[in-house]
Amino acid sequence: MQYNPGWNGSSVNLLHVRAVGRGDTLHYVWSSIGAPAALLVATASGSSALRLNWTRLLSPDPTGAVWIEPASSVVYSAAVVFTKVFEYSQTKMLEELFYPTYDLSDFSWDSVNGTLNHTALTAEFKGVPATDPGGSFSNGSLAFRVTAYEVGGRDGPLPSLLHTANSSKVEFVLAGVAPRGNSSRFALEVAMVEEPGVAQKLRSARSIDDEYTPTIFEMLSLVAESQNDSSPLSFLQWKATAYGSQTPRREDNIQCRSHSLQAANWSLPVSSLVHAYFGEGVGSTYTISAINISFGGEDGQVYQEKRYLSWSVLLGFGQPPKDTFSPLVISIMAVALGTPMVMLLVGSCVVFFAQRKRYSEYEPIN
């Protein structure tokens, strides 16, 4: 985990997370230069490295400022950009009334340096709009909390997503931001940049297992698949819930809905990192698709009361992890179902022998 490699200063944020495996390296590059974005690069070399040209990166045309060495080792690369936050309220007539959108590329971001935790592998990108005429952000902020993982496992706090060592988690947090309406709801726009020949698919899986995320049965995943052999290359995975508390409990759950995935034919807001890596081809050679995630159920009251919203999503390479039944559930069911069966067998035997004994006692009468 490296902060602003090769640059002295913390006015801009760039975080490089490197996961080295046997014969391959995964690079996660997080940056708030422009809209907050994450660059995911998988390489087939154990010693591939990220190279940056800072003067170029901070210039108006950053093309080619970020690259991986050796370039031939790059197997796959993609980017996730968090572009906008919408705020809207639903009127009685079921019309959606939109307030002016918060464009995340216009935010000013605090330095990540102070929030870096090298043992827990976390960092926080926290920002407020550069101009905030309504004063909504006077007591609040918007943040992306990034967590990298060294080993596979499961998060402690809800939604307790299962993760592998190859994945990272980002948590979208809206804290203390004043809503501009009585029943305001928020939605986050997430855009993905993919290489040619890769298609994004949104999958919603309903699982019977809600043990780790109580009462949430729906798991959504956005998987980038190679069009040749539909093998999964990267994924975003999240549970259909957000939480309205810093220490999330079941009752803080805020409904989270995903709208359909759309091919974005609009130009991506200037996210320097993406342009710096992919160059001019973004939007043409490299396809962009976007999805809106909205928070809040029929009445958007939970946020109004708590003024807090956090939504977690897992990013990673390959196949998204799958939940399985916990050993506890399996053992309870096995004992609960097994005992009556065993008793039935034992009981039958006892009765059988008791009867034979009784008959045999009468036999000698002969």
Q: Which residues bind other proteins (CB under 8 A)?
A: 206, 208-217, 249-251, 299, 328-329, 332-333, 335-337, 339-340, 343-344, 347, 350-351, 354
Q: In degrees rounded to 5, what are phi and psi of residue 130?
A: -65, -40
Judged by CB, which is closer to other proteins: 214, or 283? Answer: 214
| Residue 158 in tokens | 């809800």
Under 8 Å between Cβ of 48 and 258:
no
Closest separation in Å from C-beta 328 to other proteins: 8
Q: In degrees rounded to 5, what are phi and psi of residue 214?
A: -50, 135
Nearest to 311 by CA among 258, 260, 261: 258
**DSSP annotation string for 47-63:** T-EEEE-HHHHTSS--T
Judged by CB, which is closer to other proteins: 71, or 344? Answer: 344
Closest separation in Å from C-beta 160 to other proteins: 10
Amino acid in position 84: K
Closest separation in Å from C-beta 13 to other proteins: 37
Closest separation in Å from C-beta 124 to other proteins: 28
**Quick check: bond before 269 cis, omega within 30?**
no
Judged by CB, which is closer to other proteins: 94, or 336? Answer: 336
Closest separation in Å from C-beta 329 to other proteins: 5
Judged by CB, which is closer to other proteins: 255, or 319? Answer: 255
Closest separation in Å from C-beta 218 to other proteins: 9
Residue 106, classified by CB atoms within 10 Å of its CB into exposed (0-12), middle (13-18) or buried (19+), is middle
Q: In degrees rounded to 5, what are phi and psi of residue 286?
A: -95, 125
Under 8 Å between Cβ of 66 and 51:
yes
Judged by CB, which is closer to other proteins: 132, or 209? Answer: 209
Distance CA 240, CA 311 (A): 9
Under 8 Å between Cβ of 179 and 50:
no
Judged by CB, which is closer to other proteins: 166, or 213? Answer: 213
Closest separation in Å from C-beta 350 to other proteins: 7
Judged by CB, which is closer to other proteins: 97, or 354? Answer: 354
Q: How far is CA 234 from the centre of its chain?
A: 12
User: In the block, which residue shows the tokens 């919203």?
Assistant: 309
**DSSP annotation string for 316-356:** EESSPP-----HHHHHHHHHHHHHHHHHHHHHHHHHHHHHH
Closest separation in Å from C-beta 215 to other proteins: 5
| Residue 96 in tokens | 């959606």
Judged by CB, which is closer to other proteins: 63, or 301? Answer: 301
